[in-house]
Amino acid sequence: VVRAFAPGRVNVIGEHTDYNDGLALPFAISLGVTVSAEAARGRRVEAIALDLAERDVFDAGDRSGATGWRAFVRGAVAELAASGHALGGVRLEFSGTVPRGQGVASSAALEVAVCLALLRVAGIDTYDRLALARLCSRVENSWVGVSTGLLDQLAALFCAEDRALRIDFRDLDLRQVPFALDGWALGLVPSGETRALARTGYEQRRLECRRAVELLGVQSMRDVTPDDLSRLPAPLNRRVLHVIGENERVDAAAASVSAGEPEQLAVLLNESHRSLRDLYDASTPAVESTVARLFQSGAEGARMMGGGFGGQVLALFPPGQSLPADALRVTPAAAAHLVES
């Protein structure tokens, strides 16, 4: 039996930049998904979601889709086969510690852990992690039917303990950034808002960004400068202004955390939140009241995290300040790996 673990992530800063060829600064968290796999005779794939007490059985060559968690497993098997990794029969079991559907990339953790376990059980030890991130993103886009960027998969596969990962989505340049908070703590608090609206809002923002790039006649959002903004109608000009500012904040935040200047990070988190709220129109009343409550609880910085329109708020607390009861304290943990049993 082989066992693989893949983590969820937080994104320190750099929101709605991944699908805009921009910059982001995630780190992996210690919570994630663990998959165990055992080779089985023939081509029968059996998958068991232990937390849900649910099961799926299909032929390794079956290309029909499914819904819910089954789509991830079927998609992973199909995409690995399509990329030339011959897979036979296997029995998979998985369970997770990362909250599902709460903006901490439980989906990427599942895709990545399933793929690592499948590869290992097939005796494949060398593979390209970047190609695997793209493959997992295809699972999510084509099999699960959710359009997301590459942020979550890269975070799950490339982050490192005590480091944040600076990702440049234009050329996929990845850099480990030392993460020194000097006694400050980051906590994640759910806004309590269901993500029903999130998908439509997210899709709409992606379309707006694509339209802005088309109207300006540039190859990529990274080629857009503040001078171009006057050539765009509202609200496209505000969307672009957010992305330009957010990219700058990623580099400023990377500099702050590597220099051990958390006060500066707090300022940047607040700027990012205002930009997501006022320029990207991605906030909701529940998110705003969560942010306000976190400031009352002693946070110095707080911002919505992930796709917006609900989900989680990331807050930065100074030394000695206890975190609210519903906060999950997060620190940078290791990337996806095989677990020795």
Q: Which residues bind ligand GLA (CB under 6 A)?
A: 15-16, 18-19, 148-149, 151-152, 306-307
Name residues whose C-beta falls within 8 Å of residue 55's C-beta, 6 or more positions apart in sequence.
46, 47, 48, 49
Provide, rounded to whole angstroms, the least separation between the CB of residue 136 and ligand GLA. 12
Which residue lies nearer to ligand GLA by CB, 15 or 193? 15
Which residue lies nearer to ligand GLA by CB, 93 or 193? 193
Amino acid found at 103: G
Which residue lies nearer to ligand GLA by CB, 17 or 290? 17
Catalytic residue from among 18, 21, 152, 168:
152
Paired sense of beta strands 337-339 and 312-317, if any: unpaired
Residues 270 and 277: their CA atoms lie apart, in Å, by 11
Residues 278 and 299: their CA atoms lie apart, in Å, by 21
Query: 69-82 and 129-138 are packed helices; what angle lies between their axes, rounded to 10 degrees?
Result: 130
Provide, rounded to whole angstroms, the least separation between the CB of residue 306 and ligand GLA. 4
Is residue 152 among the annotated active site residues? yes
Work out the number of other CB atoms within 10 angstroms of the CB of residue 248: 13
What is the full DSSP assignment across 29-84?
EEEEEEEEEEE-STTEEEEEETTTTEEEEEETT-----STHHHHHHHHHHHHHHTT
Work out the number of other CB atoms within 10 angstroms of the CB of residue 30: 15
Which residue lies nearer to ligand GLA by CB, 148 or 191? 148
Provide, rounded to whole angstroms, the least separation between the CB of residue 153 and ligand GLA. 9
Which residue lies nearer to ligand GLA by CB, 107 or 290? 107
Provide, rounded to whole angstroms, the least separation between the CB of residue 64 and ligand GLA. 25
End-to-end alpha-carbon separation of the chain, Å? 8
Rounded to the nearest 10°, the torsion over CA 172, 173, 179, 185 is -20
Provide, rounded to whole angstroms, the least separation between the CB of residue 93 and ligand GLA. 26
Q: Are 1 and 54 in contact (CB under 8 A)?
A: no
Active site residues: 152
